[in-house]
Chain A
């Protein structure tokens, strides 16, 4: 019932993007987001769009799949488009009486929607091509300097790993409970707002209970294996920064410089 969420899911593959070090991908994604907020001209944004499309092409992610992932945020994009279209001053193109569409408005709408669109799609490339475990490994390594100021980097990464690990499990569990309650005649998400909220109780309570039970089981299992936090722990997967990663990073920097150049020139 709720399994059709493709946003943020890992898609197994063997492309360069799949093989790249998670740290590279995290850094690139973060830098790209900053770039997206700096650039403000439509041409620079279109350039960035080409870059995102290229990233999808290199990672061999089916376009259909990617589009499905955007669906949940389509409303937000449409909303910003409409707001920007009508709320910006400029030369009037269409006058509806109560509101008007201006040329500046259209431009702003295009810029803002492109930006939101790319924020999601670029971050998705990372999650599509990186397993959650690799992602948290990368984050742990990147945040390592913070250990000097007593920040519990390892513990935080472990929490993230566990949280990510249990998302599919919880989705399955929710699905099962929803079905079990539906089989008893529960209508989920129908009626007025209050009824709708109430209809989630038979799902949420068992879900909470099972989450606590799972957390408890996991804690025991971890203790039984002598888990004591980061002290003296080595990693099974050792991240290695290779030539490919340097190449990707350099290529990315050049592309970003190009996009920024377009932005400052126009």
Chain B
């Protein structure tokens, strides 16, 4: 609301470059501007000042339609966007809008459904009859079927149980590796971010706070806590253990790494 007493700057002085094929995580406290930033990537929001170039296109004017084909955004609680009679038809929606032929559509839908483990029975059910996790995957299928080159996931795990979260992330990782797409993950789960992303961008109050590898980011634990974030639980544990054993490596961000490290140290102790 520009020019009104309710005006607020959501993003300020953002300068960011993301190369294709990266797996990036965007973390930040609620209201730090993460969601606002990703909505700029396909022109859903337009900048008041400055400019953004995505896949060689400016995010404005006629390029928008083309741009939205390349950038797929999965919003928070994407299951809220389901509306068709069947899951199949809902996944088909975007393809229809792109004017793709019936046969091709069917092929793409079946492919995507199998990647996301949506079986035929679910495919022909109403999206209002299936379970929460299935809904989530159905909604994500609606985006993935368009084969975006850049996939943005805004809190994809919100409201999912741990196994559902793992499943979803394994699918995303497979896609990332096989199709060589760029993945931008918005999250405030440090564990997930540490496990999957190769580069982390920390946002705070509409600005980029820091940008680097998980090791670089999670080294500054106290600083992250100051801006309302934290480090993965396992890193905290290993940092605490370090008091007793100075040999422990500092850059441990996942349970697997921690396990390996403990085995290494125990093996040496014998």
Contact = CB atoms under 8 A, between A and B. Distances in A.
Interface string A130-161: 00000000000000000000000000000000
Given A6-B4, A12-B5, A177-B80, A182 B143 contact: no
A187 B94 CA distance: 11
A4 interface: yes
Interface stretch (B66-74, B229-237, B241-249): B66-74
A183 interface: yes
B62 interface: no
Interface string B27-55: 00000000000010010100000000000
Contact of A185 (B44, B78, B98): B98
Contacts of B69: 185
Interface residues of A, number: 27
A70 B93 CA distance: 37
B169 to A, nearest CB: 21
A4 B94 contact: no
Contacts of B71: 183
B99 to A, nearest CB: 10
B194 interface: no
Interface string A154-182: 00000000000000000001001101111
Contacts of A181: 81, 93
A237 B5 CA distance: 26
Contacts, number: 71
Contact of B81 (A3, A180, A201): A180
A202 B98 contact: no
A223 B143 CA distance: 39
Contacts of A106: none
A205 B128 CA distance: 11
B228 interface: no
B259 to A, nearest CB: 39
B97 interface: yes
B60 to A, nearest CB: 14
A11 interface: yes
A94 interface: no
A216 to B, nearest CB: 14
A206 B81 contact: yes
Nearest to B78: A180
A164 to B, nearest CB: 18
Contacts of A206: 80-83
B61 to A, nearest CB: 15
Given A64-B3, A202-B93, A185 B83 contact: no
Nearest to A210: B80
Interface string A199-226: 0011001100110000000000000000
Interface of A: 3-4, 6, 11-12, 62, 64-65, 68, 173, 176-177, 179-187, 201-202, 205-206, 209-210
9 contacts: A64-B4, A179-B75, A180-B80, A180-B81, A184-B146, A185-B97, A185-B146, A186-B93, A205-B83
